[in-house]
Chains A and B, each alone.
Chain A
Amino acid sequence: MKPARVMLVDDTPTRSAILEQALLDQGLTVVCRLESAQSLIKNVEIHQPDIIIMDLESPDRDTLENMTVLNQHNPKPVIMFSEEGDSKIITQAIQAGVSAYIVDGLNPLRVKPILDVAIARFREYQALRKELKQTRDQLADRKIIDKAKGLLMKTKGLDEEQAYHAMRKMAMDQSKPLVEIAQNILSVMELLTL
């Protein structure tokens, strides 16, 4: 059995690189990786993939769907191959942001593992993005808090610990996040020094 030929269309190169590696690890062939669908039709004709994995949020899905109409041998949306009772994997794919197109001859038994890999990698990427954002937000918060603390120390003649406790108390009294209190302090001070 020849390895299935996979084509990836995703405008997020990091994500499609992760997915490509995962598919290669499974012994599959990644024939083409496109970042935009500019030359989608031409590439499908040249590379003749068995399956196309596409970012669900790509507007180019409609362009690809038209190929299905034009030629019976062109890849069709994977949703066509799911039985109505077995739409779980399709729902999972949609939630993870994956869409897939497969050619008629490809055994449905071989489709599921490929889709599973794509779903897992898309989810992983989503989680990574979320984590990165959290870390960035935390760092930004820290900067604001430190700045407010410094201002309090300078204007009120407090030491570092006193300044921090003053802000903590305000945050608890007003049941607001510390960073919001720090932001308020900075805004007020800015007003006063103008």
Chain B
Amino acid sequence: MNGAKIEKKALKLGYMPLSDCLPLLVAQEKGFFEQQGLKVELLQEVSWANIRDKVIVGHLDGAHMLAPMLLASSVGLGGIKKPLMTAFSLGLNGNALTVSNTMQAALVELNAQEFDQAITMKRLIEQRKSKKLPALVFATVYPYSCHNLQLRYWLASAGIDPDKDIDLVVLPPSQMVDHLKLQHIDGFLAGAPWNSVAILQGHGHCLLTALDIWGNAPEKVLGVTQEWAEKNQQTHHALIRALYQACAWLEDHAELALPLLEQHLSLNSPLIDQDCLIPAITGEYIFDHNQIQSKAPGMLVFNRFMANFPWLSHGQLICAQMKRWHWLPEDTDCDKLVAGCYRPDIYRQALTDVTMPVDDFHNEHLSMT
């Protein structure tokens, strides 16, 4: 630990009950925050909007946050304009696209070999149009999320216009399974464990993991306001060290954290049990109710592949995609926006004994480009 004095000892951090909040739970449970001289209170939130608002007004010091939310808030999209930033990525990947059993059957009927390709989805949409059937409804968890960007990216790769050819709605993750079961929605792109919940209960089929859309994609980050980071530099460093320690521990011991995760996720969701948490954590992924496991080893990455580094290229990818859908004006200066939201320099200062990449950029693995 550094000798420098931390500015603020007692911290409140918010999180959403999802598998990728584990670094926060583990840092608390294993005393990593305490070892860094921090006294952290973890608060479970019910919406991303709450996370954003509470961080912005200072009710929370920081939170488990959707990476695109940093950019959205920094320019005032969908909320007050308040610059947010991250110097720590909580991990990579975790998302998947799950469709209803009805849609799965329709896709297989169209093309049994390539039922999981966007091009087959395009044919299904055209077929429904010619039969004058209502547009397919897809759900994601928040407008400014990688979930939404990944779904749009995948659909658009086959020439589907996500703003015209389908209906895109937002639902709380915990309601996805019910809406899929009741056929209010035809599919959803969400994070762990909600795909596994739907699949294990027999209400859906995982069409593909988001690994097939963006490999090693940005997902959740430790989000704080730029103002907070300025005022609490040493505290921020301590927080990053504790979370890094938790992520490194999780890389080798994720299974041991299952009871902890279950305990926190099942608080408000009776649907959650350990069985549905296992697939994303272990990478022994289950795509279908009747099928044996398939390997998806990078399904949820906590530490390897430099998963915690706040790559500028993550910010650039998000910025470019947000422009593509006209959420950001065409003339948005992505370099400038990302330089405020992504701070690898702080990550480098906080973690002095960790292997660092040479550059702050790397190639993002996008499919179908």
Contact = CB atoms under 8 A, between A and B. Distances in A.
A57 B57 contact: no
Contacts of A61: 46-47, 49-50
Contact of B172 (A59, A87, A95): A59
B57 A59 contact: no
Contacts of B357: none
The interface size bin for chain B is: 20 to 34
Interface stretch (B74-82, B98-106, B128-136, B200-208): B74-82
Given A68-B78, A82-B80, A94 B47 contact: no
A79 B169 contact: no
Given A59-B172, A99-B50, 15 more contacts: A56-B50, A57-B50, A59-B175, A60-B172, A61-B46, A65-B48, A65-B142, A66-B169, A69-B143, A69-B327, A79-B53, A80-B76, A80-B80, A84-B80, A99-B53
Interface of B is mostly: loop
Interface of A: 41, 56-63, 65-66, 68-69, 76-77, 79-80, 82, 84, 87, 90-91, 94-95, 99
Contacts of B168: 66
Interface of B: 46-50, 53-54, 56-59, 76, 78-80, 82, 141-143, 168-172, 174-175, 327
B190 to A, nearest CB: 12
13 contacts: A58-B46, A58-B47, A59-B172, A59-B174, A61-B49, A62-B172, A69-B143, A77-B49, A77-B80, A84-B80, A90-B53, A94-B54, A94-B59
Given A60-B172, A61-B47, A79 B80 contact: yes
Q: Identify the 8 closest CB pairs spanning chains A and B, nearest first.
A: A66-B170, A59-B172, A61-B49, A61-B47, A69-B143, A59-B46, A79-B80, A66-B143
A91 B172 contact: no
Contacts of A65: 48-49, 78, 142-143, 170
B78 A76 contact: yes
A94 B80 CA distance: 14
Nearest to B173: A59
B329 to A, nearest CB: 14
